[in-house]
A = this chain, B = another copy of it.
Amino acid sequence: MARIPKKRQQATEKLLELLGPRKVKLEGNEKYMASFDSMKLSFPYEALVVARSEKDVGATLKLANEFGVPVTTRGAGTSLTGSASPIKGGWVLDLSKMNSVKILKTKSMAVVQPGAIVSDIQAAADSEGLFYPPDPSSLKYCTIGGNIACNAGGMRCAKYGVTRDFVLALEGFLPTGEKVSWGGEYKKFATGYNVRDLWIGSEGTLGVVTKAVLRLLPKPEKKWTILVAFDSDIKALEAVQKLLFAGQNPAILEFLDTNSVYCAEEVAGVKLFKGLSLKPLLLVEFDGNGSQLREDKKKAIAWATELGLAYREAKTEKETETLWSARRACSPAMFSMGDSKINEDIVVPLESQAKFARFLKQMQKKWKLNAPTFGHAADGNFHVNIMYTRSDADECRRAKGAVLDLMKKVVALGGTISGEHGIGLAKTPFMNFARNEAEMGAMRAIKKALDPKRILNPGKIFTPYEVWDKKPEVVKLPWDKKPIAKKEA
């Protein structure tokens, strides 16, 4: 570790004095566990600040800004991109203890602190007959602050949109420690620049959120799920377009490519269609009230009958769970293809999906690696899971090559390099594929304008970082799923 400048050491002493040892940790396991996120690249840093109040956050930032100490804000640390790693040392500002959730029933809003767990917000809304749709796969662990930082998505984006679409207002601090609020408990404003939406997705580099007002929806009365098998990846993706253009508006529209189905069927032993094997799937969920749902159902069954090889619909909760089993099993079963996974979250426009499916085949062949792919077909946001063995230097080299090809391709197809994970460290080498010099210049200028001392989450988004050069920690995180090994015949 590089020597810490004396000024920064003094700042840490002042911080400890100001907030006390209950909130400021200079050593120990809790501090270590906050030195990395789900990407598991750990960096040394000076102090962990476990904030308990808005005041703690303001005081920390004021001091950090005065002394030029890097501050990396974090919630649960479920980020897959290294965005919550304190790569430049300094302080980690942990907001996970600021986790209150207040539902404003008559206004259909939630007022939450940044550390609130997304599934807790959903449960609180649900208990009042309301609904918070965004559902990133880590929803039982991840915090709303992190969701706002990377504009998290999830499966229900198909119908409902991303985190941004549910954030009415943000309150928090500029990197200078000044208190600001963008929006309020209302739905519309045209009162100067929209810094709210600039903060959303800025990965903790422009400000620190201490309160958010979320928009809630009436809870859909019912759900109905159908699983459809198709003859090929391309046929499945073409069916996506046909469903959407017919005006159908599914809540969830998940694609599992042939490779993902291989993982579910051959590795995890989940077989859902008798007589069919290794056929790509679309898992489609509709929600709404009874009469609407009956129409959706009728149309969806006609669509599945016309375009699919077979379908299964869920008539009970238990059957619904069965239909989901392939989707749930495929991800942990991928570890039969390698002990390490690069889970990309690229976006391709709808009309390029068939081309993209062809590219994925070539990519896997060229680099001799498996890359089972599933994801949110309605918005073209696919998770390409490049599997490799970390200890195998050649596999690492090939995985790196595959990622590079992938990133170039999605941009060439008119898409982009990240749909919901953000850039963090992992995608910094590819930013210049997706963004031209003027665009990068504008973003950097905004960063400099709002954070003149560049203290907030430095080293992220803009500076290319080579994640392959650093060994990840060997540690099990609460949300790490147990790999499913191939069942022996």
The answer to whether the Cβ of A434 comes within 8 Å of any Cβ in the partner chain is yes
Q: Contact: A107 with B351, CB < 8 Å? A: yes
When chains A and B are docked, how far (Å) is the Cα of A435 from the Cα of B295? 48
The answer to whether the Cβ of A18 comes within 8 Å of any Cβ in the partner chain is no
Give the interface segment out of A184-192, A222-230, A256-264, A306-314: A184-192
When chains A and B are docked, how far (Å) is the Cα of A380 from the Cα of B184? 12
Restricting to A109-145, which residues have a CB under 8 Å from any CB of B?
Answer: 129
Taking the closest CB of chain B, its distance from the CB of A337, in whole angstroms, is: 26
When chains A and B are docked, how far (Å) is the Cα of A461 from the Cα of B197? 18
In the bound complex, residues from chain B placing their C-beta under 8 Å from that of A436 are: 179-181
In the bound complex, residues from chain B placing their C-beta under 8 Å from that of A423 are: 190-192
Restricting to A68-113, which residues have a CB under 8 Å from any CB of B?
Answer: 105-108
Give the interface segment out of A30-38, A315-323, A384-392, A439-447: A439-447
Tell me the count of chain A residues lying within 8 A, CB to CB, of chain B. 90
In the bound complex, residues from chain B placing their C-beta under 8 Å from that of A2 are: none
Q: Contact: B442 with A180, CB < 8 Å? A: yes
In the bound complex, residues from chain B placing their C-beta under 8 Å from that of A414 are: 184-186
The answer to whether the Cβ of A454 comes within 8 Å of any Cβ in the partner chain is no
In the bound complex, residues from chain B placing their C-beta under 8 Å from that of A201 are: 190, 193-194
In the bound complex, residues from chain B placing their C-beta under 8 Å from that of A417 are: 191
When chains A and B are docked, how far (Å) is the Cα of A157 from the Cα of B215? 14
Q: Contact: B381 with A438, CB < 8 Å? A: no
Restricting to A148-203, which residues have a CB under 8 Å from any CB of B?
Answer: 150-151, 153, 157, 162, 164-165, 174, 176, 178-182, 184-195, 197-198, 200-202
In the bound complex, residues from chain B placing their C-beta under 8 Å from that of A461 are: 192-193
Q: Contact: A415 with B197, CB < 8 Å? A: no
Enumerate 21 A-B pairs (CB-CB under 8 Å) in ascending A order: A178-B441, A179-B436, A180-B438, A186-B348, A186-B414, A187-B379, A188-B420, A189-B419, A190-B201, A190-B418, A190-B422, A190-B423, A191-B417, A192-B435, A193-B446, A194-B197, A195-B439, A195-B446, A288-B292, A292-B292, A445-B449
- Contacts A191-B418, A191-B427, A198-B198 aside, 20 further interface pairs with beta carbons under 8 A come to A107-B351, A129-B247, A164-B194, A180-B442, A185-B414, A186-B379, A186-B380, A186-B414, A188-B376, A189-B418, A190-B421, A192-B431, A193-B198, A193-B201, A193-B446, A193-B447, A194-B201, A195-B446, A288-B292, A291-B294
A contact set with B: CB distance below 8 Å: 105-108, 129, 150-151, 153, 157, 162, 164-165, 174, 176, 178-182, 184-195, 197-198, 200-202, 206, 218-219, 241, 244-245, 247, 249, 288-289, 291-292, 294-295, 345, 347-351, 376, 378-381, 414-423, 427, 431, 434-443, 445-450, 461
